[in-house]
Amino acid sequence: MAPQQKGKQGTKGAKQIVEENKTTLAFYRNMAIGCAAPALLLGFLVFEVTKTSVFMHILALLILGSSYQFMAFMSKAKYSESGALVDSGNDLNMEGGIAENVKDLIILTSGTLLLALISNYFWLVLLLAPIRAGWMLWGSVIQPWLSQRNAQDENPEVDEKKQKKWSERCAA
């Protein structure tokens, strides 16, 4: 094998992406089941069952299930009729991708399920997900849009000066 250059990451092949996606999906599926099953069993057999705990367990299961299904959908590989790999799907292990945020959501929900066995106040940890989503929305959409509007408000003054200079040059 040829040595890789420092600072530059090698590209992955389509088959490698498919195999890594399978192992990533298996890991997060096992994490979700491994946290949800004991939390449900202990929560309903040992501790007091309330409307709040039932609702929060259902909400956590919906989050885990939908997150896993979303990752499975976005990483689904496409094969031709002859069995050749046509499209490897999205790479779930890509840094900065949406799958990274979905994996964080699975980790947060799984941890919350286990922490809620200690106290029902730990259900409030799930509020970190919409707070993070709002923060990401602010940083990537709202703030750049606002700063762009401010920059456009300042640019017409500069454009007027440039137009005056241009008209003076054209007249001369």
* pLDDT digits (tens), the chain, 172 positions: 444 445 555 567 888 989 999 999 999 999 999 999 999 999 889 888 899 999 999 999 999 999 999 999 999 988 888 888 888 888 898 888 899 999 999 999 999 999 999 999 999 999 999 999 999 999 988 888 888 877 766 655 556 666 677 667 766 6
Q: Which of 80, 97, 81, 129 is nearest to 21 (CA)?
A: 97
The predicted pLDDT at position 2 comes to: 43
The predicted pLDDT at position 6 comes to: 57
Burial of 125 (0-12, 13-18, 19+ CB in 10 A): middle
Q: Which of 144, 136, 146, 134 is nearest to 96 (CA)?
A: 136
Q: What is the pTM of this model?
A: 0.77
The predicted pLDDT at position 8 comes to: 53
Cβ neighbours for 143, distance < 8 A, ≥ 6 positions apart: none
Q: Which of 59, 92, 55, 50 is nearest to 73 (CA)?
A: 92
Is 137 a member of any domain?
no
Rounded Cα distance between 75 and 139, Å, is 27
Is 172 a member of any domain?
no
Is 25 a member of any domain?
yes
Put residue 39 in one of left, alpha, beta given phi > 0 → left and psi -120 to 50 → alpha: alpha
Is 165 a member of any domain?
no
Is 145 a member of any domain?
no
- Domain with 112 in it: 14-125
The predicted pLDDT at position 1 comes to: 42
Number of domains making up the chain: 1
Q: Which of 57, 65, 49, 67 is nearest to 123 (CA)?
A: 57
Rounded Cα distance between 57 and 126, Å, is 12
Cβ neighbours for 15, distance < 8 A, ≥ 6 positions apart: 85, 88
